[in-house]
Chains A and B, each alone.
Chain A
Amino acid sequence: MRVTEQTLEALSIGAAILGTGGGGDPLIGKLMAQQAIAEYGPVELVSLDEIDDTDVVFPVAMMGAPTVFLEKVPAGEEGYMAVQRMERHLGKKVTALCPIECGGMNSMIPFVVAARMGLPVVDGDGMGRAFPELQMETFHVLGVSGTPACIADEWGNVVLFETVDNYRLESFARACTVKMGGYSHLVDYPMTGTQVKGTAVRGTVSMAIRLGEALQEAHRSHVNPVEAVLAATRNTIYGHGIALFQGKVVDVSRRTSDGFAVGQARLQGFDEEEGKSMVIDFQNENLIAKVGDEVVASVPDLITLLDPDTGYAITNERLRYGQRVVVIGIPTPEIMRSEAALSVWGPKQFGYDIPFIPLEQAYPDFYRRVGVPLEKEKYLALMPPLER
C-alpha cells in the first residue's frame, strides 16, 4: 500500500482513535510526514508477511512532552540521525522501519524517516494502541532487548543506550530527553525480520488508516460516524468495537503525577443510559471505564471517547463539562492479552487492583451476535450459555 499525503489524513484520524485519549495529537506528526512525503515521495506500507527473515527493522518514534513539540516543532532529520547512528553501531543497514505505537502522534514518525530514506514501513507496531512507556511494547514482552537504542535531538546530538533491562532504558532515555529540550526522536528494539514477525501487533497501521477512511466516508455520505468507526473494526485482529456509553461530561479532574496527566472524567448518560453514569480513569491514556461500581472495560482493551456528531476522537486534554461523547471500547489484539503482556500493562501495572476482563467476556451477548476473531472464541466459551 502506497502511503500518500492523503493517506496520512486518514491515518491521523484513525491514530487519534487508537490513541485512547492520549498518545499526543497526531496533527504535527501528520504535517511532518506530509512535508517529508511531498519532498521525497510516497512510502510503501508492507505487511509483516512481506518482510524477509533477514530484514533489519528499526522501530522509530518520538518520546517526550506533546506540549513541547507543539511549540518546538522538530527539525525533521532527528529520526534519520538516530537511525544512522544505530546502523553504524550495529554495522548493519536498516531495510524497513516500523512504528513503536500506532496510536496518536507516533503513528506518523516512521513515515517522516521512511520518506527521507526511501524505506518501507512495516504494518504493525509494539502496542496496538498508545501507551506511555518504552517497556510497554510487545517487543519487550516477547523478549526482544530495547537496546541498543538511540535518541537524537534537532542538533544531531545522539545518545546511545545499552541498558541491562528495558525498564532502565525507559528511565535513562526519559532523563536525557528532558535535557534535549523536552522531547527526542528514538530508535529502540532493533530487530531482524524474524523477530518483528514474531512479536509485532499485526496490521495496526492499516487498521488506523481504515478507521480514518471509514470516518471520512461517513462524512461524505452522511451516515452515523460512530457506527462507521465501529463497523470498520469488524474482521480485524482487534475484533468488533462496541459502544459502551453515551452521555455528557459532567466533571473532569486532572493533576500531574510523575510526569503523567492523571485524572478522571465523569459522564452522565443519555437515552438508554439515562440515569446511569460512567467514570473514565486516565493516565495520559484512558485506562478504566466504570458504570456505577462495575468495571466494564479496562486497559489494555481500548477505551476512546468520540464526538457523537463527527466521530472524531476526543483527547483527554480537551475534555470538559458539557461535551457530548460516545464511549467506545475496542478489544485489544490477543498478543496484547497474554499473561506476560498483562504483567506489563494490565490494570495492576497502572495501580488498579482489579483483574483484566476482556470486552468479549464483559459483553458476551453482543459478541455472540457480532462474532469474534477465531483466537477470541475462548472468551465466549467462558460464558454461561445464552438465555432464551
Chain B
Amino acid sequence: MSYRLGIDVGGTNTDVVLLDSKNTVIAKAKTAVTADIVTGIRVGVGTVLDQSGVNAAEITHAMLGTTQVTNAIIERRELNEVAIVRLGAPATRAVKPLAGWPEDLRERYAKYSWIVGGGHEFDGREIALLDEDELHEIAESVKGRVQAVAITGVFSPVNTDHEERAARIFREVLGEDIPISLSYQLGSVGLLERENATVLNAAVSSVAKRATLSFQQALADLDVHAALYLAQNDGTLMSVEYALLYPILTIACGPTNSMRGAAYLTGLKNAIVVDVGGTSTDVGVLVNGFPRESFVAVDVGGVRTNFRMPDLYSIGLGGGSEVTESEDGVKVGPKSVGYRIVKEGRAFGGDTTTFTDVVVALSKAKVGTHEVRLPRELAERAYDVAIDKTVEAIDRMKTSSDAVPLILVGGGSVLLPSEFEGASEVHRPENYDVANAIGAAIAQVSGRVDRIFAMDQKSREDVLEEAKSIAIAEAIRAGAEASTIEVVEIEEVPIAYLPGNAVRIKVTVAGTLASYNQEEVGAHASH
C-alpha cells in the first residue's frame, strides 16, 4: 500500500492529512503553526502516523502548501539581492523597472537594474537583436554581488528565445547555482506586472530554498522519504526543482487548496466554494475542478503583479468576527478576535460577542464550551447581516444568474446555513475542516499557454488546437502522465486595434503525476 501526505501551513494552523491510494482520508491533524514552521509540521505528521499506524516508509508522496514565501515578501525578510534585466531597448525605457514599487523595496533593488537591447513584437518579430555583449558585461559586473537574476523580455509569452538566451549568458558567467527567474514562466502579457512578479520571485528564491530543505529534513526526521511536491496558486503541483525556480507561484496556494479539496470531497467540478476561517471568508469559483483565475493585477506586498492567482472575493467575516451595535445598525466584522476566539468568544467563556456566539445563541450550531445568551433581536439582526454579506459575495463571483451548487469548507463553515439564495444545493462535505490539506494531497500537474494569436489566416479551431497542444506539452514536461491530461480552462479575449482579428488565448490543462500508479489513484474522486 502507498500513502500520501497533504500538508497545508496556513496563518494559524498547520493541517495534515494522510490519504491512502484510493484517496481516502486515513488520518488528519490540526496543530498550531509554530514560529519555525517545521516543528508544527513534524508534530502534525507525527500525529497522523501515530493515529493511522501507517509505516512512514509507505508514504510515497508529500504535498505541501505553504505561506512562507508570502510572509517573506510582506515582512521583507531574507530577500535576495537581484540583478534585474529587461530585454526591450530601445523600447520600454519610458517606464523603468520598479516603477510604482513601495519606496523601501524600490531603493533596495534599483542598484542592479538594466534595460538591454532585445525583446519581441506582438507577432514574434524581434524588436532588436539581443545585446549579448552588454549581457556579458552585466553578468560580470554582478558576479558575487547578487544572489539571483530576474530576466524579463518584451512579449516573451509569445517568443521565449531572448529570455532563454540571456539566461544562458548569465549561467555561463555566474555558474550553475545562482537562480535565474524567467518572466515567461511566471506571468502573462503585461510587461511591468510580469517583470514585478519575476523580480519578487528572484528575491524570495533563497527563502524558498531554505524552507524547502527544512521541510524535507522535517519529513526525513520522521523517516518519511517521499517525493516532495509544492502546491501552487492555480491548484496544481510543482516538483521541488520547479518550486525552487518559481517559488512565488506558491503564494496563494492556501485558498486554492481549499477549493481543490472542496471539489474532491464533493465530486463537483463546477461550483462556488465558500471557505470560512476565523477572520475572513474567501469565496472562489471552481471551473472544471480548478479555481477560476484572477484576470486583474494582484498586489503582492505592495507590488502589482500578474502571475496566476485564484480569483477570490474575500469578506471580513469569520467565526471570530466581532459583533457591534451602533446608530448605523448592527455590524459583524471586519474586526475579529481571530484565533483568540477560544479565549475571548462568549461560547468559550470570554466576553466578546462574535459571529460564532450569534450562531450558538440562535441554536443554529453547537460550538464551544459555554452557553451563549444574546438579545434575540440583536442576534437575529447580526445573523442576517452576516448571511447577506455572504450571499452578496457569492453573487459577485457567479458568472450568470443561474443557481449553482455551493460547497462550504473551512473550520468556520459550520456557522453557515444549509440553504442559500442563488445556490441550487449546499454541500458541507465530511472533512471540510481539512479541505485545504486534502486539496494539496490530491493536486495534479498543469501546463498552460497565454499568447496572442491572429485568427485571419487560420480557423478558430486550428488556433485553439495549437494553443492546447502547447499547453499539453508543457504539462508533460512538468511531470503529467499524458493519458490523464484534461483541458481545465480556455479563455479567449479579443484585442482591439490589431489587424487579423487578434485574440489572446489562454489554455490551462492538467493531468495526474506520471509517477502515480493511475489504477490505484484515479484522476478524480467519484462520490
Chain A residues within CB distance 8 Å of chain B: 22, 28, 31-32, 34-36, 63-68, 70-77, 112, 132, 154-155, 174, 178, 181-183, 248, 250-251, 254-256, 259-261, 268, 284, 317-318, 320-324
Q: Are A72 and B94 in contact (CB under 8 A)?
A: no
A221-B96 Cα distance, complex, nearest whole Å: 34
Q: Are B91 and A259 in contact (CB under 8 A)?
A: no
Q: Which residues of B contact A324 (CB under 8 A)?
A: 396
A323-B393 Cα distance, complex, nearest whole Å: 10
Taking the complex as formed, is B499 at the interface, i.e. its CB lies under 8 A from any CB of chain A? yes
The stretch that binds A, out of B141-149, B184-192, B348-356, is B184-192
Most buried by A among B100, B192, B400, B498: B498
**Contact A182 B498, CB 8 Å, known A67-B504, A72-B191, A323-B396:** yes
CB distance from B358 to the nearest CB of A (A): 25
The stretch that binds A, out of B23-31, B72-80, B489-497, is B489-497
Q: Are A35 and B94 in contact (CB under 8 A)?
A: yes
Chain B residues within CB distance 8 Å of chain A: 88-96, 99-100, 119, 121-122, 125, 127, 154-155, 189-192, 296, 395-401, 452, 493-499, 501-504
Chain A minimum-CB-distance residue to B501: A256
Q: Which residues of B contact A36 (CB under 8 A)?
A: 94
Chain B minimum-CB-distance residue to A320: B399
A112-B93 Cα distance, complex, nearest whole Å: 12
The contact of B90 among A75, A178, A268, by CB within 8 Å, is A75
Q: Which residues of B contact A35 (CB under 8 A)?
A: 94-96, 99
A154-B125 Cα distance, complex, nearest whole Å: 15
Q: Which residues of A contact B501 (CB under 8 A)?
A: 256
Q: Which residues of A contact B127 (CB under 8 A)?
A: 72, 154, 181
Chain B minimum-CB-distance residue to A22: B496
Q: Which residues of B contact A34 (CB under 8 A)?
A: 99
Q: Are A74 and B91 in contact (CB under 8 A)?
A: yes
Q: Are A70 and B191 in contact (CB under 8 A)?
A: yes
Chain B minimum-CB-distance residue to A256: B494
Q: Are A71 and B191 in contact (CB under 8 A)?
A: yes
CB distance from B109 to the nearest CB of A (A): 16
Q: Are A74 and B92 in contact (CB under 8 A)?
A: yes
CB distance from B299 to the nearest CB of A (A): 13
CB distance from A370 to the nearest CB of B (A): 29
Q: Which residues of A contact B90 (CB under 8 A)?
A: 75, 154-155
CB distance from A78 to the nearest CB of B (A): 8
Q: Which residues of B contact A75 (CB under 8 A)?
A: 89-94
Q: Which residues of A contact B121 (CB under 8 A)?
A: 72, 181-182
Closest 6 CB pairs of A and B: A76-B94, A256-B494, A154-B91, A65-B497, A261-B496, A73-B92
Give 29 CB contacts A-B under 8 Å.
A32-B95, A34-B99, A64-B497, A70-B192, A72-B91, A72-B92, A72-B122, A73-B93, A73-B94, A75-B91, A75-B92, A75-B93, A75-B94, A76-B93, A154-B90, A154-B92, A178-B499, A182-B121, A183-B497, A248-B395, A250-B400, A256-B495, A256-B501, A256-B502, A259-B498, A260-B496, A260-B497, A320-B399, A321-B399
CB distance from B456 to the nearest CB of A (A): 11
Q: Are B398 and A71 in contact (CB under 8 A)?
A: no
Chain B minimum-CB-distance residue to A263: B494
Q: Which residues of A contact B190 (CB under 8 A)?
A: 70-71
Most buried by B among A70, A284, A320: A70
**Contact A31 B100, CB 8 Å, known A70-B189, A71-B191, A154-B127:** yes
CB distance from A44 to the nearest CB of B (A): 21
Q: Which residues of A contact B494 (CB under 8 A)?
A: 254-256, 261
Q: Are B94 and A32 in contact (CB under 8 A)?
A: yes
CB distance from A46 to the nearest CB of B (A): 24
Q: Are B498 and A72 in contact (CB under 8 A)?
A: no
Q: Which residues of B contact A74 (CB under 8 A)?
A: 91-92, 94
**Contact A31 B192, CB 8 Å, known A71-B154, A72-B88:** yes
